[in-house]
Structure 1
Amino acid sequence: MPDAAVLSIRNVSKTFGQRRALDGVSLNATKGEMIALIGPSGSGKSTLLRSISALQTIDAGPGEIVAFDGPVQKDGKIDGNVRKTRTRIGMIFQQFNLVGRLSLFTNVALGSLGRINFWQAAFGLWPTETKQAAMAALHRFGVAEYATQRANTLSGGQQQRGAIARALVQKAKIILADEPVASLDPVSARRVMEILRELNKQDGLTVLVTLHQVDYALRYCDRVVALKAGKIVYDGPATGLKREQLIDIYGPEFEDVFWEGAPT
């Protein structure tokens, strides 16, 4: 792994049946980067995040994923010691992945599971540090007043802020956000993107976020990685991504939905 990298992906492929979802993908992420992963549906964005978090295996072969100098997976096998590495990687999902019947506070406190005894959590015997961290995160993201409310009674934006708070309690150093605003209204979506940007800039967290909204990628992320048919077709500054490249990535129909102020 390069000295400055906290995440290194080398020659990673993933095949589902006859479809190659990832095709020899290589990517490094350094501490404090905020990287947007863009591309059409089926381009491999979510597959890449799920592979980084060891939620799925990559194909056997030369592919390798390393985080914080700890192996995540290699040659189609997840490393036996990956649990320690995963405690430093927070995953944010499109559908929030909160336990609906539990309170928002409990969902956020569950971020500490990698550091406390399972039975403490099962009986709600949270250490003082966890209680304080959970409430501080809820306050920070403006949802502390809903701490005792069941998660499934909250709006999508409130649940997503709870999911991000859980990653903060987890003490994650890398945030993987898979379409975190796809299910949200525009106001809630902007708030979630602002929170991710804040964690990146103020807390120094490395953030990889998959987005269908290209304008959000250009507005909030300094670096953009574009995938098409499982391959990286652009990796560089957001300011360097031009209209003709976006049309090549998404197809000629992209021109019809271009927004005001798009790159030229």
Structure 2
Amino acid sequence: MSDAAVLSVRQVSKSFGSRRALDTVSLDVARGEMIALIGPSGSGKSTLLRAINGLAPIDKGPGRIDAFGGAVQAQGRVDRDVRRTRIRIGMIFQQFNLVGRLTLFTNVAMGSLGRIGFLRGLLGFWPAETKGAAMAALARVGVAEYAGQRAGTLSGGQQQRAAIARALVQKAKIILADEPVASLDPVAARKVMEILRELNRADGLTLIVTLHQVDYAMRYCDRVIALKAGKVVYDGPPNGLTRKQLIDIYGPEFEDVFWEGAPQ
């Protein structure tokens, strides 16, 4: 792991039966990068994020994942102290992972459970610091006015903003966002991407975002990593991707759905 990297993935493979979802993937992530993970469905994007967070154990062998200088997992085993590392890694999911019957405030305050303890949070005994942080985070993403409303009654875009706020309360230094805009309408999707980009630029947060929308990847991210059949087939700046490379990654049908003004 280089001195500049906050995350290191080395020769990581992950199999589901006979299918290799990740195939000897290696990459380093520097502090403050905003990276798009692109590739067709089944290419390994979500599996890679789950492996980085220790949610998906990797195959036995030389593979290793480190974050902030500590091991997440190695040689097919999640490190027994992974919780210390995981508390600094926020995860945002396509389906928000909020508890619909609880208020937006409570869902966001749950980001502090790793520090204050589960039982205290379960009983609603939130410290003043957590209360202040939760309301500040909700304000930061533009949904503070809905703090007392049940999460399940809000729109998808509002819920996804709350999921981002929860990661802020967690005090995450790396945010892994797995298809965070896939279920949102275009206006809500752009707003979520703008919030993530602002957090990256203003706060220096490191973000890795899986996206099906290649135009979003090229518009909002500084680095693009493309996966195909579990292998890294491109790693570089967005403007380095050519139309031919994208068609090689996604197949000839991609030509028909590519946006206007695409690279040649």
TM-score by length of 2: 0.99
Listed as ranges, the gaps of 5+ residues in structure 2 are none
Kindly indicate whether residue 13 of structure 2 is the aligned counterpart of residue 13 of structure 1. Answer: yes
Residue aligning to 1:67:
67
Q: CA deviation at 1:263?
A: 1.2
| SS of residue in 1 equivalent to 2:114 | coil
- Aligned positions of 1:1-264 closer than 5 A: 1-264=1-264
**Offset of 1:127 from its aligned partner?**
0.4
Distance 2:89 2:81 in 1: 14
Could you tell me which amino acid in structure 2 is paired with residue 223 of structure 1? R
Q: Which amino acid is the alignment partner of residue 213 of structure 2?
A: Q
Task: Give the secondary structure class of the aligned counterpart of 2:184.
Answer: coil
3-state secondary structure, aligned to 1:252 = coil
CA distance in 2, matches of 1:150, 1:55: 28
For 1:258 and 1:117, locate their aligned partners in 2 and report how far apart those are by CA, in whole Å: 47
SS in 1 for 2:218: helix
Deviations 1:125-149 (A, max 9, x none): 1000000000001011110111011
Once the 2 structures are TM-superposed, how far is the Cα of residue 120 of structure 1 from its aligned partner? 1.7
Deviations 1:183-234 (A, max 9, x none): 0000000000001101110000100000000000000001000000000000
* SS of residue paired to 1:50: helix
Q: Distance in 1 between matches of 2:167 and 2:118?
A: 18
Between the aligned partners of 2:242 and 2:201, the Cα distance in structure 1 is 25
Measured on the aligned residues, the alpha-carbon RMSD in Å equals 0.6
Question: Which structure 1 segments of 5+ residues have no match?
Answer: none
For 2:60 and 2:14, how far apart are their aligned partners in 1? 9
Return the alpha-carbon distance in structure 1 between the equivalents of residues 137 and 197 of structure 2. Answer: 15
State how far apart, in whole Å, the 2-side matches of 1:206 and 1:77 are: 25
Distance (Å, rounded) in 1 between the aligned partners of 2:118 and 2:17? 37
Taking the aligned partners of 1:5 and 1:247, their CA distance within structure 2 comes to 31
CA distance in 2, matches of 1:206, 1:262: 27
Q: Please state whether the residue corresponding to 1:114 is helix, strand or coil.
A: helix
Percent identity at matched positions?
78
Matched to 1:187, the amino acid is V
Shift of 1:244: 0.6
3-state DSSP of counterpart to 1:27: strand
Distance in 2 (CA, whole Å) between partners of 1:220 and 1:70 is 29
Q: Partners in 2 of 1:151 and 1:61 — Cα distance?
A: 42
Deviation, 1:124, is 0.6
Aligned length: 264
Q: Secondary structure at the match of 2:35?
A: strand
- Cα shift readout 1:83-117 (whole Å, capped 9, x = no counterpart): 00000000000000001111100000000011103
